[in-house]
Amino acid sequence: MSAATAPETSRPAPARVPTPAPDPAPAGSKKRFVLPIVGLLVLGGAAWGVKQWTYGRAHESTDDAQVDGHIVPVIAKVGGYVKNVTVVENQAVREGQLLVQIDDAEYRVKLAQAEADLAAAQATTTGGTAAVGQTRAQVQSATSQTAAGEAQVAAARANLDKAESDLRRYEDLASKQIVSQQALDAMRAAAASARANLLAVQRQASATGAGVTGAQANVQSAEANVRLAQARTGAAKAARDNAALQLSYTTVNAPASGTVSRKTVEVGQLVQPGQTLMSVVADTGTWVTANMKETQLKDLRVGQKAEVEVDAYAGATIEGTVESLSSATGAKFALLPPDNATGNFTKVVQRVPVRIHITKGLGKDRPLRPGMSVVVHVDTK
């Protein structure tokens, strides 16, 4: 067989050329990118740490803090059935606005009775005063009569002295046969008459004096009755005023301007004196109470500036100043304060309430409500 007719399978296979592999990246190029990033992260972390350390040295912070405000209870001063309730929950009210009306029929009757008792007492006092005036007039008249009687007694005594002196002179003349016996007898009769007249005038003056003494006793008795009537009038007036006051208490008004909260009263309900009907969150302003640890009080002073983060508004910050520090820890005001002398003792860091006055809020669109949680940072430097 010739070479031209030989099968193709007998030809040698062509040689296979290997595919070249990609060149590997040099290791130094990765390091050039990683090391700067790590360095920046380390520097950023160090800067943040230094900033936090510096901030912590100049500030005292706590998240045990909340917004506080004036919450005024509305309390019933008298008992009775509720006739009308004019407000609903979360309604804005102004000071003096009618909130609850208690049925006042019973209290009106008591007021009318007290006014009638007062009128009767005043009439008694007026009559007693008139009686005192009349008695005093009688005393005045009797006193005048007594003065006249005393003058009559003095005149009768003078007449008696003259008659007795004339009688002695006539008796001396009669012994010398100068005057007649008839003239002597007439003079004796005149002396006896003068003596009898003096006795009569004296008895009349004594009777008039007794009348004056009796009239004076009557005046004292009448004045005592007037004082008693005046005291009864004062008591009746006080009872009338108290009845009017109780009647006024049937109208329950708002003690302050604000918002109604926790309303528990309904129409037809029987309320008792001292029962809380609702509360009013006063719009007189809010403040922040931060319960600082006792170990944080070393550098706290009144007037220091504070930043307050409000949780309700995504940590929005308000500004304020330290207004005051409590004179006792919060545990001392608890319902059951701890007593370390009972035997078991575990030392716990106490907290002291610090009041912060808000100088810059978040505006009317983001109001601060009592009870909101906040985080307080006080600048102590």
pLDDT the model gives residue 177:
72
Q: Render pLDDT for 324-381 as a digit per residue (tens, 0 to 9).
A: 999 999 988 888 888 777 777 788 899 999 999 999 999 889 999 999 999 999 998 8
Check pLDDT > 50 for residue 318.
yes
| pLDDT exceeds 70 at position 129 | no
Q: Which residue has the tokens 């003056």?
A: 205
Which of 81, 107, 106 minimizes the C-alpha distance to 240? 107
Per-residue tokens: 26: 């040099």
Polymer length in residues for the chain: 381
Reported as a pLDDT band with limits 50, 70 and 90, residue 55 is: low
What's the pLDDT band for 131 if we cut at 50, 70, 90? low
C-alpha 191/C-alpha 103 separation (Å) is: 91
Average pLDDT (131-142) is 60
Q: In Å, how far are 58, 86, 165, 174 from 181, measured between CA atoms?
A: 139, 117, 17, 7
pLDDT tens sequence across 222-242: 667 767 777 888 898 999 999
Return mean pLDDT, the chain. Answer: 82
d(CA 105, CA 52): 70
Burial of 29 (0-12, 13-18, 19+ CB in 10 A): exposed
Rounded to whole angstroms, what are the CA distances from 75 to 84, 250, 260, 275, 319?
15, 11, 13, 5, 35
Helix (H, G, I), strand (E, B), or coil: what is residue 296? helix
Domain definitions of the chain by residue range: 61-95+257-335+348-379, 105-248
pLDDT by residue (tens digit) across 203-214?
777 776 665 565
- More reliable by pLDDT, 289 or 191: 289
Round to whole Å and give the CA distance between 179 and 185.
11
Q: Name the H helices within the chain.
A: 27-58, 105-175, 181-248
CATH domain 61-95+257-335+348-379 topology: Elongation Factor Tu (Ef-tu); domain 3 (2.40.30)
> Is pLDDT of 99 > 80?
yes
Residue 20 has pLDDT above 60, yes or no: no
Q: What is the DSSP string of 202-261?
A: HHHHHHHHHHHHHHHHHHHHHHHHHHHHHHHHHHHHHHHHHHHHHHHTTEEE-SSSEEEE
Residue 8 has pLDDT above 50, yes or no: no
Higher-confidence position of 217 and 19: 217
Pair of tokens at residue 351: 């907290």
Q: What is the mean pLDDT of residues 154-158?
A: 83
* Domain 105-248 part of CATH 3.40.50.1400: no
